[in-house]
Chains A and B, each alone.
Chain A
Amino acid sequence: MDLNYTAEEQAFRDEVKTFFDKKLPGRLADKVKSKKRLTKEDQEEWHAILNEAGYLSAHWPEEFGGKAWNAIQRDMFDVEANIAGAPRVVPFGVNMLAPVLMAFGSSEQQKHYLPRILDGTDWWCQGYSEPGAGSDLASLKMTAERQGDHYILNGQKTWTTLGQHADWIFCLVRTSKEGKQQEGISFILVDMNTPGVEVRPIILLEGTHEVNEVWFTDVKVPAENLVGEENKGWTYAKYLLVHERSGIAGVGDALAGIEHLKHIARDQKKDGKPLADDPMFAARLAQLEIDLSAMRTTNMRVMQAASSGAPPGPETSMLKIKGTELRQSINDLTRRALGPYAMPFVSEALEAGYNQEPVGPDYANPVSMDYFNHRKTSIYGGSNEVQRNIISKMMMGL
C-alpha cells in the first residue's frame, strides 16, 4: 500500500496541468465556472482541442488510437479538467458508443464511425429510455422490423440528452417478441436525418432544454447499421452502461463544487462574519469533505481493480450512488449558503451575452437552478434504486 503518486504519475499530472493552462480557452473556462449555458459550438470547439492533443480518446485502447490510460490517469485528468473549468466531454459518442463498437461492431463500422466521433463529424445521442421503459429498460417497445436489406423502426425514445444537436442516435429496439424480454432487443445506429425521425423538446423543471423525445415513424434504416448480432442488444447495452459508469463518481466535479462552495461561504456574511467561520455551517461543509475524500479513494480502488483489463463490476453501482448523492449534497449546501439570494432567478443571465448587473452576488443566479437540475443525476443512468438492487443482488447475493 502506497498512497503517494509515483514520479511518472506526478509527471503526468504536470503534463495535464500544462495542457489546461495552455489549451483551454479562457472564454470557455469562464463560461463553465460561471455556469453559463454552453452552445453546441462551444462543445465542438473543446472536443476538437482535446482530440488534437489525443486526449479525447486517451482512455481508448491503443489499437484504436487511444493511450490506454489507467484509473489514476483518468482520475487526474478528470480532477484537473474540473479545477481548470473545462467543459464536460459530451459522452455519447466517445465514451458510450465507441466502446460498444470496439467490442461488438464490425471492422467497417469501427473504421467508419470511430474517426467521425473523434473529429466531430457525427454528434451522437442515446436512444435507450422510453415512456414505459425507465428503470425497467428491458420492457422497451420500439420495434425494428426486418424488410429485405432494411429495418423499419417505429416507436418513441425519451430523455434523449442533447438530441437537438445530434446527427446520429444509437437505439435499443425490439426485434423479437419471443422468449425473455432481454432476448429480443437489438442495438442499431440511426441517422437523425432519416425521414420519420422527429425530435421534440422536453423542458426541465428549471426551464432548461437538455432532453428530448425522439419519435420514429416508419424510419427506414439499412441493415448494416445493426451492431453485432440481432437480438443480442441487451448484452451490448449492459456493456455500455458499465462504461458509462467509469466516470460516474464525478470526483472532479465534486471537488470543483466544494471549492466553489467554499468561495461562496467565505464571501457570504452571517452576523457580520464570513459564513465559512460559522460553526454550524463549517460542520456541514466538513462532513462533505470527509465523504468526498473517502469517495475519491473508493473510486480509485474500484477503477484500479478493473484496469487490469476487465470492465469494472457491480462496485460501480456504489460509485454511482455515492457520487451523485454527494454532489447533490454539495448543491444543497451551496443553495443554503446563499440565504435569500437563492430565490431570484434570471434565466437570460445564463447566456454568454448577458451583461446586466447581477441580482445579488455574481455567483448567486445559477445556484438554485443547479440544485434542482442535479436531482436528475440520481434518476438517470440507472436510478439509484436500480443501483441498490444491483448491489444487493450482485455483490451480496440477496
Chain B
Amino acid sequence: MDFNHTQERQMLADMTGRFVREQYPIEKRHEIAASQEGFSRELWSQMAELGLIGALFPEEAGGFGGTGFDIAVVFEQLGRGLVVEPFLASLLAGTVLSRGNESQKSLLENVISGETILALAHGEPASRYMLSHVETTATKTGEGWQLNGNKAVVINGDTADQLIVSARVNGEMDDTDGIALFLVPADTDGINRRGTSTVDGYRTAEIALSNVAVGEDAVVGDAGDAYANLQTSYLLGTLAVCAEALGAIEVAIELTLDYMKTRKQFGVPIGKFQALQHRMADMMTEREQIRSAVINAAGNLDLVDREWYISAAKNLVGRSGRLIAEETIQMHGGIAMTWEYAAGHYAKRIVMIDHMFGDVDHHLERIMKLGRVA
C-alpha cells in the first residue's frame, strides 16, 4: 500500500490549491456568488486553461484524468475555497455525455475548454434522493420527442447553455428501466427556468418543460436505458462532493484552531481549556476518518464495491461533517455567526452537502441493502 499520490496528481492538487489560495479570497467568492450568474466566467476560463476541468475526465472523453483520485484532489481544493464555479454541474453532465454519440462527445471539448456550460436536469420535485424517480415524460413524435415535466434543484441549471434532461419513455414512475436522456439547448421553446441561490451561495434552478420538442439526435445513449449512465454520473458527483466537504472541513478546523490560539477569555487563549481541547481532538479525528473514507471511495471507483464505499463516505461526511460544522460555530462563539467571518460559510457548505445525492440516512440504508464488504 502507498498512500502518497503520484507525482502528476500531487502537482494537480498543488496547482489547484495555489489557484484557489491566490485567486479566490473569501470576499471575492462572496462577490462572485452574489453576481448575476452566480459564478465568474473569467475565472472559469482561467481554471479551464489550467486544466482543472479536463482533470475530471478520462482521455477517451477528451480529458487527461477522470480517475477517482483526480476528481478527489481537485474537489478537495475547490472545497477549501468554497469555489462556486460550475465544476460539479460539468462533471455530472459531462460524464453522462461521454456515453453519447460522436457529435455529443465532441461537445465535451467545449465543456473542458470552459466555453460551454452544461447542467444535468434529473432530480424532480418529488424524487427526494431516489435516482430512478422520473415523472417527466418523453413522447415519440414524427420528428423526434416531446418532453413534459418538472425538474428540481438543478445545479447551475439557471445559466447552463445546454441541459441534459432525463425523461421517462416507458414504465412506472420509479422503474430503473424506461429512462432516457436528452441533450437540449437551454433556450429551446417550452423550457422555463427559475434560478435561485442556495443558502450556502451556489446556484440551482427549477425547470419546467412544456411540450419541448427535440430531435432524435438529442437522445444520449439508448432511449430507455439511461439508468446506468445516470448512476455513474451520480456516483462521481457523490465522490466529488465528499472530497469538496473534506476541503471545507480542513479549513473550518484550521480557522477554529487558529481562533483557539488567539482568542483570549479569562486571561488565557481559549485553547487552554480542556473542555475545548478534547472537542478539537474529536474534530481532527473525524476529519481523518473522512479523509480515509474519501480515499476508500476514490480508490474503489472502478471496482465492484464502489457503491458501498461511496455510500460509506457520504454517510460519514454527513454525520461527522455536521458535527464539525456545528462545533466550528460553537467553539468560535458569536463571531462565527456573522456573515463577515469565513467560518460560518464553511459550516453552511459542509451541512448543505448532506442534501446532495442522498443524506446520512439515505446512504445508511444503501449500506444496509448492499450488505457488508469483506
Q: Which residues of A contact B (CB under 8 A)?
A: 129, 132, 134-136, 139, 158-159, 202-207, 268-272, 280-281, 284, 328, 332, 335-336, 338-346, 359-360, 368-369, 371-372, 375-376, 378-380, 383-385, 388
Q: Contacting B333 at CB < 8 Å: which of A204, A345, A369, A383?
A: A383
Task: Please tell me if the beta carbons of B348 and A205 are within 8 angstroms of each other in the complex.
Answer: yes
In the complex, the chain B residue whose C-beta lies closest to that of A205 is B344
Name 5 interchain pairs, CB-CB below 8 A, sorted by A: A134-B265, A159-B334, A205-B348, A206-B199, A388-B275
Chain B residues contacting A335 (CB-CB under 8 Å) are 351, 355
Chain B residues contacting A270 (CB-CB under 8 Å) are 128, 130
Q: Which residues of B contact A (CB under 8 A)?
A: 123, 125-126, 128-130, 152-153, 173-174, 194, 196-200, 202, 204, 206, 264-267, 273, 275-276, 322, 326, 329-330, 333-334, 336-340, 344-345, 347-348, 351-352, 354-356, 359-361, 364-365
Task: Please tell me if the beta carbons of B337 and A376 are within 8 angstroms of each other in the complex.
Answer: yes
Task: Please tell me if the beta carbons of B333 and A134 are within 8 angstroms of each other in the complex.
Answer: yes
In the complex with contacts A339-B128, A343-B199, A360-B152, A372-B348 CB distance below 8 A: yes
Compute how far the CA of A281 lies from the CA of B334 in the bound complex, rounded to whole angstroms: 31
Compute how far the CA of A39 lies from the CA of B31 in the bound complex, rounded to whole angstroms: 28
Chain A residues contacting B128 (CB-CB under 8 Å) are 268-270, 339-340
Chain B residues contacting A136 (CB-CB under 8 Å) are 265-266
In the complex, the chain A residue whose C-beta lies closest to that of B360 is A336
| Closest CB in chain B relative to A297 CB, distance in Å | 27
Chain A residues contacting B204 (CB-CB under 8 Å) are 343-344
B128, B267, B344, B360 — most chain A CB neighbours (10 Å): B128
Compute how far the CA of A159 lies from the CA of B333 in the bound complex, rounded to whole angstroms: 11
Compute how far the CA of A340 lies from the CA of B357 in the bound complex, rounded to whole angstroms: 8
Compute how far the CA of A360 lies from the CA of B153 in the bound complex, rounded to whole angstroms: 9
In the complex, the chain B residue whose C-beta lies closest to that of A328 is B326
| Closest CB in chain A relative to B244 CB, distance in Å | 14
Contacts across chains A and B counted by CB atoms under 8 Å: 135
Task: Please tell me if the beta carbons of A339 and B355 are within 8 angstroms of each other in the complex.
Answer: yes
Compute how far the CA of A385 lies from the CA of B337 in the bound complex, rounded to whole angstroms: 17
Task: Please tell me if the beta carbons of A204 and B337 are within 8 angstroms of each other in the complex.
Answer: yes
Compute how far the CA of A336 lies from the CA of B355 in the bound complex, rounded to whole angstroms: 7
Q: Given known contacts A272-B173, A375-B326, what 16 new A-B pairs fall within 8 Å (CB)?
A: A202-B340, A203-B339, A204-B337, A204-B344, A269-B128, A270-B128, A328-B326, A339-B128, A340-B152, A340-B356, A343-B200, A345-B199, A369-B199, A379-B334, A383-B330, A384-B330
Compute how far the CA of A135 lies from the CA of B334 in the bound complex, rounded to whole angstroms: 10
Task: Please tell me if the beta carbons of B344 and A372 are within 8 angstroms of each other in the complex.
Answer: yes
Task: Please tell me if the beta carbons of A375 and B329 are within 8 angstroms of each other in the complex.
Answer: yes
Task: Please tell me if the beta carbons of A380 and B344 are within 8 angstroms of each other in the complex.
Answer: no
Task: Please tell me if the beta carbons of A359 and B345 are within 8 angstroms of each other in the complex.
Answer: no
Q: Contacting B196 at CB < 8 Å: which of A340, A346, A371?
A: A346
In the complex, the chain B residue whose C-beta lies closest to that of A272 is B174
Compute how far the CA of A360 lies from the CA of B198 in the bound complex, rounded to whole angstroms: 13
Compute how far the CA of A345 lies from the CA of B200 in the bound complex, rounded to whole angstroms: 9
Task: Please tell me if the beta carbons of A336 and B197 are within 8 angstroms of each other in the complex.
Answer: no
Task: Please tell me if the beta carbons of B338 and A202 are within 8 angstroms of each other in the complex.
Answer: yes
Task: Please tell me if the beta carbons of B196 and A359 are within 8 angstroms of each other in the complex.
Answer: yes
Task: Please tell me if the beta carbons of B153 and A341 are within 8 angstroms of each other in the complex.
Answer: yes
A134, A340, A368, A372 — most chain B CB neighbours (10 Å): A340
Chain B residues contacting A202 (CB-CB under 8 Å) are 338, 340
In the complex with contacts A129-B334, A375-B337, A340-B153 CB distance below 8 A: yes
Compute how far the CA of A348 lies from the CA of B341 in the bound complex, rounded to whole angstroms: 23
Chain B residues contacting A336 (CB-CB under 8 Å) are 354, 359-361
Task: Please tell me if the beta carbons of B352 and A205 are within 8 angstroms of each other in the complex.
Answer: no
Q: Contacting B153 at CB < 8 Å: which of A135, A281, A343?
A: A343
| Closest CB in chain A relative to B226 CB, distance in Å | 20
In the complex, the chain B residue whose C-beta lies closest to that of A336 is B359
In the complex, the chain A residue whose C-beta lies closest to that of B359 is A336
In the complex with contacts A339-B128, A339-B129, A207-B339 CB distance below 8 A: yes
In the complex with contacts A204-B338, A280-B365, A344-B345 CB distance below 8 A: no
B123, B275, B355 — most chain A CB neighbours (10 Å): B355
In the complex, the chain A residue whose C-beta lies closest to that of B155 is A343
Chain A residues contacting B351 (CB-CB under 8 Å) are 335, 368, 371-372
In the complex, the chain B residue whose C-beta lies closest to that of A373 is B337
In the complex, the chain A residue whose C-beta lies closest to that of B194 is A359
Please give me the 4 A-B residue pairs with the lowest Cβ-Cβ distance, nearest first. A205-B344, A136-B265, A345-B199, A203-B339
Chain A residues contacting B355 (CB-CB under 8 Å) are 335, 338-340, 342-343
Compute how far the CA of A69 lies from the CA of B355 in the bound complex, rounded to whole angstroms: 45
Task: Please tell me if the beta carbons of B265 and A332 are within 8 angstroms of each other in the complex.
Answer: no
Chain A residues contacting B273 (CB-CB under 8 Å) are 385
In the complex with contacts A205-B344, A336-B361, A343-B333 CB distance below 8 A: no
| Closest CB in chain A relative to B119 CB, distance in Å | 14
Compute how far the CA of A31 lies from the CA of B179 in the bound complex, rounded to whole angstroms: 42
In the complex with contacts A134-B265, A280-B364, A343-B204, A385-B199 CB distance below 8 A: no
Chain B residues contacting A343 (CB-CB under 8 Å) are 153, 198-200, 202, 204, 352, 355-356
In the complex with contacts A139-B265, A344-B198, A379-B152 CB distance below 8 A: no
In the complex with contacts A205-B339, A340-B123, A345-B198 CB distance below 8 A: yes
Compute how far the CA of A338 lies from the CA of B351 in the bound complex, rounded to whole angstroms: 13
Chain B residues contacting A158 (CB-CB under 8 Å) are 334
| Closest CB in chain A relative to B185 CB, distance in Å | 24
Compute how far the CA of A336 lies from the CA of B73 in the bound complex, rounded to whole angstroms: 28
Task: Please tell me if the beta carbons of A271 and B174 are within 8 angstroms of each other in the complex.
Answer: yes
Compute how far the CA of A272 lies from the CA of B200 in the bound complex, rounded to whole angstroms: 29
Task: Please tell me if the beta carbons of B352 and A269 are within 8 angstroms of each other in the complex.
Answer: no
In the complex, the chain B residue whose C-beta lies closest to that of A385 is B275
A207, A336, A339, A371 — most chain B CB neighbours (10 Å): A339
Compute how far the CA of A380 lies from the CA of B267 in the bound complex, rounded to whole angstroms: 20
Compute how far the CA of A268 lies from the CA of B206 in the bound complex, rounded to whole angstroms: 18
In the complex, the chain A residue whose C-beta lies closest to that of B331 is A385
| Closest CB in chain A relative to B117 CB, distance in Å | 19
In the complex, the chain A residue whose C-beta lies closest to that of B201 is A345
| Closest CB in chain A relative to B149 CB, distance in Å | 16
A139, A341, A383 — most chain B CB neighbours (10 Å): A341
Q: Contacting A205 at CB < 8 Å: which of B130, B153, B174, B337?
A: B337
| Closest CB in chain B relative to A87 CB, distance in Å | 22
Task: Please tell me if the beta carbons of A376 and B334 are within 8 angstroms of each other in the complex.
Answer: yes
Task: Please tell me if the beta carbons of B196 and A205 are within 8 angstroms of each other in the complex.
Answer: no
Task: Please tell me if the beta carbons of A368 and B199 are within 8 angstroms of each other in the complex.
Answer: yes
Compute how far the CA of A284 lies from the CA of B123 in the bound complex, rounded to whole angstroms: 26
| Closest CB in chain B relative to A348 CB, distance in Å | 10
In the complex, the chain A residue whose C-beta lies closest to that of B353 is A343
Compute how far the CA of A158 lies from the CA of B202 in the bound complex, rounded to whole angstroms: 30
Task: Please tell me if the beta carbons of A204 and B339 are within 8 angstroms of each other in the complex.
Answer: yes
Task: Please tell me if the beta carbons of A203 and B152 are within 8 angstroms of each other in the complex.
Answer: no
Chain B residues contacting A139 (CB-CB under 8 Å) are 265-267
